Homo-oligomer: A and B are copies of this chain.
Amino acid sequence: MVKVVVLDVDGTLMDTNYLHTEAWARAFERAGHRVPRVRLHREVGKGAGLLIQEFVDDEETLEKIQGFHTEVYEELQEYGHPLPGAKELISSLKERGYGVWFVTSAKDEELEHHMQELEAEGSVDGVVNSSAVENPKPAPDIFEEALRRAGATADETVAVGDAVWDVEAAREAGIRTVAVLSGGAYDKGALEEAGAVAVYEDCAALLDSDFPE
């Protein structure tokens, strides 16, 4: 029986993957590396260091790019809002008695913005962000930490995410994942291939189904 739902944030609850893609594009450009946005888009949701390493391998440039991304994203953040059904999904899960957890690669400042926009304070049992674990997504650490804190087994838990990184990380932790297309970088086929047990357009469609049962 499902007791706990673990939700990814960027691209799943918040319409922010495109803003991160744009911030990464400008950050790489500023460091003298031009990377097509479509390629960056597919990497969003991974830990930042892992994302940069897909394109640049020297440590000094990596740190520069990470700093530029933070700066640009800070400017763009205000344009990010909840995706359809995100707020309703959170409150419905809470009302129905599920434990609700966020797992995210977002920074603390970003999370504050997300929590406000999602009006999630009081409905969310806890947040595990990548700073709390050794390895960010697609490593399973962040999901394993959520299980530990929620006091639930993998069998009692379902995850929701939009990127193959979410599906892979949750799968490694033994958790089934339902995927949404609202992050924009992955289609149904790719998410199923990564291991998603079902794929919906967005949280609104997910809520219309009998999720999480």
Contacts and interface: CB of A to CB of B under 8 A. Distances in A.
A34 B204 CA distance: 14
Interface of A: 15, 17-19, 21-22, 25-26, 29, 34, 36-38, 41, 79, 81, 83-84, 181-185, 187, 189-190, 202
B187 A84 contact: no
A172 B126 CA distance: 53
Of A19, A34, A184, A187, chain B has the most CB atoms within 10 Å of the CB of A184
Nearest to A204: B36
Contacts of A22: 18-19, 22, 79
29 contacts: A15-B25, A15-B36, A17-B37, A18-B18, A18-B21, A18-B22, A18-B25, A18-B37, A18-B38, A18-B41, A19-B22, A22-B22, A22-B79, A25-B79, A26-B79, A29-B79, A29-B81, A34-B81, A36-B202, A38-B181, A38-B182, A38-B183, A38-B184, A41-B184, A184-B184, A184-B185, A187-B189, A187-B190, A189-B189
Nearest to A183: B38
Nearest 7 pairs of A and B residues by beta carbon = A38-B184, A18-B37, A187-B187, A15-B37, A15-B36, A38-B182, A36-B83
Nearest to A26: B79
A184 to B, nearest CB: 4
Given A18-B18, A41-B184, A79-B26, A84 B189 contact: no
A21 B18 CA distance: 8
Contacts of A81: 29, 34
A36 B189 contact: no
Nearest to A34: B81
A187 B185 CA distance: 10
Contacts of A189: 187, 189
